Amino acid sequence: NAGVTQTPKFQVLKTGQSMTLQCAQDMNHEYMSWYRQDPGMGLRLIHYSVGAGITDQGEVPNGYNVSRSTTEDFPLRLLSAAPSQTSVYFCASSYGGRYYGYTFGSGTRLTVV
């Protein structure tokens, strides 16, 4: 198993550009989530999904869009990048429910200039 794979690992964007952060898992996990982590801070939930076709907003959803057309993939779209979106983005997946922990990817480090 590759686990949770995030691409790219590093990205520099100009203000106003759009891009998609990719997240894929090969563990047949139902739950998937996106978090961002700013320097010296804890993780904040952006969007999450409890199954294909089902998504919901987390704590900081503004400026981001998600879709879940397959169980394996959960891409995060930045609609119009802003410097405030400079952060490290983590994707995570879980079998779901209360009885399982999440597996996290290694992160995408995004800088918006």
Partner 1 sequence: DAKTTQPTSMDCAEGRAANLPCNHSTISGNEYVYWYRQIHSQGPQYIIHGLKNNETNEMASLIITEDRKSSTLILPHATLRDTAVYYCIAPGYLGETSGSRLTFGEGTQLTVNP
Options 13-21, 63-71, 79-87, 103-111: segment touching partner 1 (CB under 8 A): 103-111
Question: Any residues with CB less than 8 A from the CB of 99 and at least 6 apart, and which?
Answer: none
Task: Give the DSSP letter string of 29-96.
Answer: -SEEEEEEE-TTS-EEEEEEEEETTEEEE-S--TTEEE--SSSSB--EEESS--GGG-EEEEEEEES-
Q: For partner 1, which residue of 15, 106, 111, 113 counts as binding (CB under 8 A)?
A: 106
**x/- binding map, residues 73-102, to partner 1, per CB under 8 A?**
---------------x-x-x-x-xxxxxxx
Count the Cβ atoms, other than its own, within 10 Å of residue 112.
19
**Angle at alpha carbon of residue 31, lines to 79 and 85, rounded to 5°:** 25
Q: How many chain residues touch partner 1 (CB under 8 A)?
A: 30
Is residue 44 near partner 1 by the rule CB under 8 A?
Answer: yes
Q: For partner 1, which residue of 21, 43, 66, 112 counts as binding (CB under 8 A)?
A: 43
Is residue 58 near partner 1 by the rule CB under 8 A?
Answer: yes
Q: Which residues bind partner 1 (CB under 8 A)?
A: 4, 31, 33, 35, 41-45, 48, 50, 56, 58-59, 88, 90, 92, 94, 96-107
